[in-house]
Structure 1
Amino acid sequence: MDMLKIRPSVVMSEGITFAGFNILDPEEFYGRTGVPFLSVRKGKPDITAMIMAIRKYERDAFIKESTLRKINPDSMNLGGAEITANYAGMTHEDARKLLLRTLGDGILPEPVRLAHIVASTIYGYAQAIEKRDPDP
């Protein structure tokens, strides 16, 4: 975050896992950056199933399992939709207000939904280029 000229006021994501079994610890993120973190996902995660999969496929399972065990997902009902949030650097009420303020017509906050659309588009474009010209 030191490279950024403008510091974000909060970082939002869809869940705390990325590209398989890469797990982000919200408290560690906040501690290292000083930027509040908020992740949201539909429904409730199955932590036990995640831990079993990590034990089966990952060499550094102990580290990832300990991260999952210390995270305390917070269930919230936002306009009839049940979501799970993980946050650091903010209170439950701050997280709830931010989610309500950024929700559009769906369950996910608009910044997260838009980021997903952009990433999917870039990925699709990269796949199309790879199919057209596999050896650049």
Structure 2
Amino acid sequence: MENNNFRQIKSEIRILGIDDAPFTPRSSEDVLLVGTVFRGGQWLDGVLTTRIKVDGLDATEKIIEMVNRSRHMDQLRVIMLDGLTFGGFNVADITEIFRETGLPVIVVVRRHPDLERIKRALMHRFPDWRLRWAMIKRAGRIHPVEVRDTLYIQTAGVDLEDAAEIVRISTTRSSLPEPLRAAHLIASGVVFGESRGGA
């Protein structure tokens, strides 16, 4: 699929920001994924949820289902993920998410990932590490974006320049885009009874 062409990026572009809730590592439990629907970095319009397996292989499928069944689908313009992995090493395949939803995907992290360290961890823990590693590699190059602090992004279905502008538009209250900050706060609040940890 070709990249989506944003002729003009509006300040209230509809963004779905997705993060996972705290979980017990290497457990057999499900992990809550929370998606927040934002107009730019200003207004929260909705909350979506789904569940994935710790260290499973269902993050991609569950995100696609959550997006495609949402009543907000027609208004959404981009999906934003807090990293490529959820619930441990449950890797989201951003090219597949773009292909199945038609929505561009922007991965945002605060620190540049140590890919060699990640690869070693996958090789050590998972017989199917090649599959997980292939999804990570498909996410493409990691690019720095200057907002309040330096963030690092990967993209599928959107040009780097447009992705960087969307990140800047949505980063209004902290050093992280508001859709991701809110998803983090909601997810931890559901698990602990109140939100914890810096967002």
* TM class, shorter-length: 0.7 to 0.9
Runs of 5+ unmatched residues, structure 1: 127-136
Q: Give 1:6's match in structure 2, choosing from 66, 69, 72.
A: 72
User: Is residue 2:93 matched to residue 1:39?
Assistant: no
Q: How many residues align?
A: 126
Instruction: Give deviations 1:70-98, integer Å, cap 9, x for gaps.
Output: 32233223135222111112110110110
Q: Is the 8 A contact 1:73 1:84 kept in 2?
A: no
**Residues 82 and 117 of structure 1: CA distance in aligned 2, closer, same or farther (over 3 Å):** same
Q: Give 1:115's match in structure 2, choosing from 156, 180, 183.
A: 183
Q: Is the 8 A contact 2:139 2:156 kept in 1?
A: no
- Give 1 or 2 for the bigger CA radius of gyration: 1
Runs of 5+ unmatched residues, structure 2: 1-66, 195-199
User: TM-score, normalising length from structure 1?
Assistant: 0.84
Equivalent-residue separation in structure 1 for 2:70 and 2:135 (angstroms): 27
Shifted more, 59-68 versus 3-12: the winner is 3-12
**Residues 96 and 46 of structure 1: CA distance in aligned 2, closer, same or farther (over 3 Å):** same
Q: Is the 8 A contact 2:171 2:177 kept in 1?
A: yes
Deviation at 1:35, TM superposition (A): 1.3
**Percentage identity across aligned positions?**
25
| Structure 1 segment 79-118 matched on structure 2, within 5 A | 79=147, 81-118=149-186
Q: Give 1:67's match in structure 2, choosing from 135, 139, 142.
A: 135
Equivalent-residue separation in structure 1 for 2:157 and 2:72 (angstroms): 18
Q: What corresponds to 2:192 in structure 1?
A: 124
Q: Is the 8 A contact 2:170 2:178 kept in 1?
A: yes
Structure number having the greater strand percentage: 2
Q: What corresponds to 2:118 in structure 1?
A: 50
After the TM superposition, which parts of structure 1 deviate over 6 Å for at least 4 consecutive aligned residues? none
Q: Is the 8 A contact 1:36 1:89 kept in 2?
A: yes
User: Is residue 2:98 matched to residue 1:30?
Assistant: yes
Q: Is the 8 A contact 2:95 2:138 kept in 1?
A: no
Q: What corresponds to 1:129 in structure 2?
A: none
Q: RMSD of the TM alignment (CA)?
A: 1.7
